[in-house]
A and B are shown apart, each in its own frame.
Chain A
């Protein structure tokens, strides 16, 4: 496409310089703060941060919620994506439109909707009490369950879209072939669909996991300070304690977790396809 390598580089240069100046440089400067103390370079901020039991609890909670949301999104996402790709073109378009629709609505509005749904007088509690499952309204708001539901709703469309795209690219006769050869539906999924859609799963999984780790509004509104996550803790450290060192430590941990999740998912996908 390009006559030479230099031409391609020249075209990429403005965007690269822009990204380096307004994104990379500030991030590097911020992260460097976490590795410095009065005596020079040190990892004491990290050891100090992780030795605090509260910080460890928050770290594990963030990891647990991110992983759970990703796994559940993958399970629901496969079912939904499989159903959608098998629809006739008109129906498929409409369903994809419905999946995309929530992405056009602000996360704040979507999260506030959950306050109405999960509240003591909300639809869920009304349904539970009317069928006699509980006498008293159940407390959903400001719990980990509420944060989980909010994050799942927020990021599920990304997983479904990634899997739809992967399933669309799968050879059309792969599933009938496996069925004819006697595979049951579980075997079809495990040995045919999963290996052939691993790219979509890696992309969707990374988006959902990274999004869950770094979402601020949803944990702040649905969990509040009773369900602190790394990002709400980061905000607290900056705005209350004016402690940019801890904030930089948290930011670094979040970045490492995102990259680690991507690597892990890629590794799992590769390991599966080698078998």
Chain B
């Protein structure tokens, strides 16, 4: 009898162990873009290393944040990558936890600006992007953000809609060029409103710009550096502008879900993603610009990224609190002046 009991207990233990190995699952919530590359360079190697299973949820920021909010009491996602402003929004809604950076071996390798972008210890930057103007160099010369609304580009320019990630940074730089820059972006929105008939379209997806450029619908548009690669493959003389007011951009960050039962595993995953090896692999495939300052890439690769301490330091980023506190004002101002 005892033998039987022992044998069944052993079987139960084995079963329980197998079940716990199966349950070691990390659920991450990420942007939908370049998922094949992320799977090859980040997810698969991490799964092999941790012996765990990675569940990847994708979607745009709003959808993903709404889902996190809906599952607040019983979180499904363990870690997420979002924009700086969305990270602050998640902090304000009580959706995320402070990140214990002492558990991240690669933390000190990050550019200072990526270590704690919102100054609240709740997020860590893993990639940057510069935003500037891409243009047909055989048709025009772009030297200022004000050129977007100038006569030379009238009828040949696409601007990002205020609702996109590139919208507010573009308006911020137009305001800078106009010499009237306030957080409500009023002057820039009014200037765009006056010239709205000269704008071919207010794009919502940067992917549509390559086709518009190819069809000669447009000669110039502000874009994030992550969209640049598509333009370089076109058989057209296309340049990345270095406007005198500088470049703007954005930073994407990692956050840890409040109440997640896998925070240690999530921290391991974050550390893995921030490692020099993984950040280099992502940079070399032009997936993401590195936030790890130890990453070294060839000049040809660097040319297509937001790369190097100087570049990163000179990006004029809109502070998250400004973006968050003014979103509604921007949208209503935009709808009143440009949308009608």
Residues from chain B with Cβ under 8 Å of A262 in the complex: none
B-contacting residues of A (Cβ < 8 Å)? 52-54, 57, 115-116, 119-122, 139, 141-142, 220-221, 224-226, 228, 236, 238-242
Partner of A120, one of B63, B196, B215: B215
User: In whole Å, how far is B61's beta carbon from the nearest beta carbon of chain A?
Assistant: 9
Q: Contact at A122–B215, with CB atoms within 8 Å?
A: yes
Q: Contact at A141–B331, with CB atoms within 8 Å?
A: no
Residues from chain B with Cβ under 8 Å of A236 in the complex: 163
Partner of A228, one of B63, B196, B339: B339
12 contacts between A and B (CB under 8 A): A220-B204, A224-B203, A224-B204, A225-B163, A226-B199, A226-B202, A239-B63, A240-B163, A240-B327, A240-B331, A242-B62, A242-B66
Q: Contact at A57–B66, with CB atoms within 8 Å?
A: no
Nearest chain A residue, comparing its CB with the CB of B196:
A226
Residues from chain A with Cβ under 8 Å of B66 in the complex: 242
User: In whole Å, how far is B152's beta carbon from the nearest beta carbon of chain A?
Assistant: 16
Partner of A239, one of B62, B328, B335, B336: B62
Nearest chain A residue, comparing its CB with the CB of B336:
A54
Residues from chain A with Cβ under 8 Å of B163 in the complex: 225, 236, 239-240
Q: How far is the CA of A220 from the CA of B339 in the complex (A)?
A: 14
Residues from chain B with Cβ under 8 Å of A240 in the complex: 62, 163, 327, 331
Q: How far is the CA of A109 from the CA of B100 in the complex (A)?
A: 48
Q: Contact at B217–A120, with CB atoms within 8 Å?
A: yes
Q: Contact at A239–B60, with CB atoms within 8 Å?
A: yes
Is the C-beta of B161 less than 8 angstroms from some C-beta in chain A? yes
User: In whole Å, how far is B123's beta carbon from the nearest beta carbon of chain A?
Assistant: 20
Is the C-beta of B143 less than 8 angstroms from some C-beta in chain A? no
Partner of B215, one of A121, A220, A228: A121
Q: How far is the CA of A199 from the CA of B236 in the complex (A)?
A: 55
Nearest chain B residue, comparing its CB with the CB of A57:
B340
Chain B interface bracket (under 10, 10 to 19, 20 to 34, 35 or more): 20 to 34
Q: How far is the CA of A137 from the CA of B323 in the complex (A)?
A: 39
Q: How far is the CA of A136 from the CA of B183 in the complex (A)?
A: 40
Q: Contact at A241–B216, with CB atoms within 8 Å?
A: no
> Given A241-B328, A241-B331, are A224 and B215 neighbors across the interface (CB < 8 Å)?
no
Is the C-beta of B263 less than 8 angstroms from some C-beta in chain A? no
Is the C-beta of B308 less than 8 angstroms from some C-beta in chain A? no
**B188-243 residues at the A interface, CB under 8 angstroms:** 196, 199-204, 208, 211, 215-217
Q: Contact at B335–A54, with CB atoms within 8 Å?
A: yes
Nearest chain B residue, comparing its CB with the CB of A137:
B216
Residues from chain A with Cβ under 8 Å of B259 in the complex: none
Q: Contact at A53–B340, with CB atoms within 8 Å?
A: yes
User: In whole Å, how far is A91's beta carbon from the nearest beta carbon of chain B?
Assistant: 38
Residues from chain A with Cβ under 8 Å of B161 in the complex: 225
Q: Contact at A139–B155, with CB atoms within 8 Å?
A: yes
Q: Contact at B62–A120, with CB atoms within 8 Å?
A: no
Max chain B C-beta neighbours (<10 A), residue from A52, A57, A226, A241: A226
Residues from chain B with Cβ under 8 Å of A241 in the complex: 327-328, 331
Nearest chain A residue, comparing its CB with the CB of B63:
A239
Partner of B200, one of A54, A115, A139, A220: A139
Q: Contact at A115–B62, with CB atoms within 8 Å?
A: no
Q: Which 7 residue pairs of A and B lie closest in terms of their CB atoms, listed nearest first? A: A240-B163, A224-B201, A142-B201, A119-B215, A225-B202, A54-B335, A225-B161
Q: Render B135-148 as a binary contact track against A, CB cut-off 8 A, 1 for contact.
A: 00000000000000
Q: How far is the CA of A166 from the CA of B211 in the complex (A)?
A: 43
Max chain A C-beta neighbours (<10 A), residue from B63, B211, B215: B215
Q: How far is the CA of A238 from the CA of B63 in the complex (A)?
A: 9
Nearest chain A residue, comparing its CB with the CB of B156:
A120
Q: How far is the CA of A223 from the CA of B161 in the complex (A)?
A: 13
User: In whole Å, how far is B136's beta carbon from the nearest beta carbon of chain A?
Assistant: 13
Residues from chain A with Cβ under 8 Å of B340 in the complex: 53-54, 57
User: In whole Å, how far is A150's beta carbon from the nearest beta carbon of chain B?
Assistant: 14
User: In whole Å, how far is B235's beta carbon from the nearest beta carbon of chain A?
Assistant: 14
Q: How far is the CA of A120 from the CA of B158 in the complex (A)?
A: 14
Q: Contact at A120–B327, with CB atoms within 8 Å?
A: no
Residues from chain B with Cβ under 8 Å of A142 in the complex: 200-201
Residues from chain A with Cβ under 8 Å of B328 in the complex: 241
Q: How far is the CA of A224 from the CA of B216 in the complex (A)?
A: 17
Nearest chain A residue, comparing its CB with the CB of B164:
A240
Q: How far is the CA of A238 from the CA of B60 in the complex (A)?
A: 12
Residues from chain B with Cβ under 8 Å of A54 in the complex: 335-336, 339-340
Residues from chain A with Cβ under 8 Å of B336 in the complex: 53-54
Q: Contact at B216–A225, with CB atoms within 8 Å?
A: no
User: In whole Å, how far is B38's beta carbon from the nearest beta carbon of chain A?
Assistant: 23
Q: Contact at A141–B217, with CB atoms within 8 Å?
A: yes
Q: How far is the CA of A120 from the CA of B217 in the complex (A)?
A: 6
Residues from chain B with Cβ under 8 Å of A115 in the complex: 211, 215
